[in-house]
């Protein structure tokens, strides 16, 4: 049976796999996501292209040094009104991004790739639609103050699994996709490979 490795430093993705009962290792790929994303945007890549490329790059990077392992890499892109958002660099940038997203719908594009022997063997992309409410400036200031460490961890400056849920009026899509790892298709693939009991 193949070993499973998560090619990510994301605690959320790690928790998703742990909660599903998977036994796996973790190997952080240490790739410069922002540099790759910027280069792809200059070439006119879509959000789906970028998420898929980054997920593949992460999984293949780790897979090349983990012979025989099935390596899971994932990436998530936030797209709103044709613009792709990145993780904010500081609290002021987070406040600016939340102000731009306020009252609008945005899409989270989550891609996952499984690599083996340094090449992609399986991939899946899913989308979720989130509608941010028109919260007040005072709510925004308070939210940033209370969550200044976590607002820098995602392009949307929120975690829907905690207080970030208060930013929304509606959410459409799979919960794990919103968290950044479309889990059910991954489990289906791992069953096909005999890693997870069928």
Which positions are annotated as active-site residues? 75
Contact assessment for residue 166 and residue 158, using Cβ atoms and an 8 Å cutoff: no
Instruction: Record the tokens describing residue 72, joined without a space.
Output: 């899971």
Both structure tokens of 178:
């919103």
Helical residues (DSSP H) of the chain, grouped into ranges: 11-19, 33-42, 47-63, 91-101, 137-146, 175-179, 183-192
Q: Which 8-state DSSP code applies to residue 157?
A: S
* C-alpha atoms less than 13 angstroms from C-alpha of 35 in its C-beta half-sphere: 4
């Amino acid at each position: 049976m193949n070993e499973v490795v998560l090619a990510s430093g994301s605690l959320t993705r790690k928790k998703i796999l742990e909660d599903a009962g998977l036994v796996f290792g973790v190997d952080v790929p240490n790739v410069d996501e922002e540099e790759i994303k910027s280069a792809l945007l200059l070439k006119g890549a879509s959000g789906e292209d970028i998420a898929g490329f980054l997920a593949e790059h992460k999984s293949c990077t780790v897979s090349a040094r983990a012979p025989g392992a099935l390596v899971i890499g994932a990436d998530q892109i936030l797209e709103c009104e044709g613009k792709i958002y990145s993780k904010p660099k500081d609290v002021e940038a987070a406040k600016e991004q939340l102000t731009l997203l306020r009252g609008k719908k945005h899409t989270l594009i989550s891609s996952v790739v499984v690599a083996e022997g340094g090449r992609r063997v399986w991939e899946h992309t899913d989308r979720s639609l989130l509608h941010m409410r028109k919260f007040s400036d005072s709510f925004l200031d308070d939210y940033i103050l209370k969550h200044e460490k976590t607002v820098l961890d995602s392009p949307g400056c929120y975690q829907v699994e905690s207080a970030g849920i208060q930013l929304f009026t509606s959410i459409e899509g799979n919960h794990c996709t919103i968290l950044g790892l479309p889990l059910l298709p991954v489990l289906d693939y791992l069953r096909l490979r005999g890693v997870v009991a069928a």
